[in-house]
Amino acid sequence: MSRIALILPAILLVAPVLAAQQTPAPQKTPSLAAIPADAAKQANPVKATPESIARARKWWGLDCAMCHGASGDGKGEVAKDMKLQVADFTNSDTLKDRTDGELFYIIKNGHQDMPPEGPRVKTEENWDLVNYVRSLAKKKADTEQKP
Ligand code: HEC
C-alpha cells in the first residue's frame, strides 16, 4: 500500500479536530464596563408608544422571558435551571442608573451570562425592547401607587 493511502485518511480524520481547536472557546459577553461612552449616550430614537411596547412584547416572549420571566421579575425557567442571577426589572430601582443607550447595547451585545440579541432583531426593534424593559418597572410603580 502506498504511503499516501495511509496518510490521506489520517489527515482527513485529524483536520476537523484541528479546525475545532482553532475556533475560540465561547467567550463571556462584555461586562457593563465595556459599553463605549458613545453607545451609552445614544438617545433612544423610538418613542415608548403602546405600539413600540406591543412590537417588543413578541420578542420578549421569544427571546427574553425564559430568563427574565414574563413579567420581568427575573424568575424565568432558564434562569432558574442555569442558576443565573437575574435582576428584577419590575423593581423601578433596578435600571434607574442605566441610560437607554446602555440598555440598547446590553440587549444587542449581551452582558455576562446573557446572550446577545445581535442581528435577530432590527435596530428599531432593539429600541422597542429598551422601551419594553422600562415599561416593566413602570407597571409595578403604577400598581404600587394605587391604594
Ligand atoms: C440566558 C438568559 C437570558 C436571556 C435569554 C436574556 N437575558 Fe437579559 N440578562 C441575563 C442575565 C444573567 C443578566 C445579568 C444579570 C442582571 O443584570 O440581571 C441580564 C441582564 C440584562 C439587562 C441589564 C440589566 C442591568 O442590570 O443593567 C437587560 C436590560 C436585559 N438583560 C434585557 C434582556 C432582553 C431585552 C432580553 C431578550 C432580548 C434578554 N435580556 C435575554 C439573562 C438573560
Q: What is the DSSP string of 20-73?
A: HHHSPPPPPBPPGGGS-HHHHH----S---HHHHHHHHHHIIIIIHHHH-TTSS
CA dihedral defined by 20, 25, 26, 31, rounded to 10 degrees?
-160
Cell of 89: 426589572
What value does the mean pLDDT of the chain take? 86
Residue 106 CB less than 6 A away from ligand 1: yes
**What are the tens digits of pLDDT across the range 39-83?**
999 999 999 999 999 999 999 999 999 999 999 999 999 999 999
Least confident of 5-14, 26-35, 130-139: 5-14
Distance of CA 120 to the CA centre of its chain: 11
Q: What is the C-alpha to C-alpha distance for residues 27 and 25, in angstroms, rounded to an integer?
A: 6
Distance of CA 79 to the CA centre of its chain: 13
User: 75 versus 9: which is more confidently predicted?
Assistant: 75
Least confident segment among 2-11, 34-43, 101-110, 119-128:
2-11
Q: What is the pLDDT of residues 13-51, one digit of tens each?
A: 655 555 555 554 455 677 777 899 999 999 999 999 999
pLDDT score recorded for residue 29: 75
* Phi, psi for 112 (deg, rounded to 5): 50, -115
Global confidence as pTM? 0.81
Atom of ligand 1 nearest to the CA of 79: 2
Pocket test for ligand 1, best of 68, 84, 91, 117 (most atoms within 8 A of CB): 68
Q: Determine whether the shortest distance from the Cβ of 137 to ligand 1 is under 6 A.
A: no
d(C-alpha 92, C-alpha 96), whole Å: 7
Domain at 28-145: CATH code: 1.10.760.10
* Ligand 1 contacts CB of residue 85 (under 6 A): yes
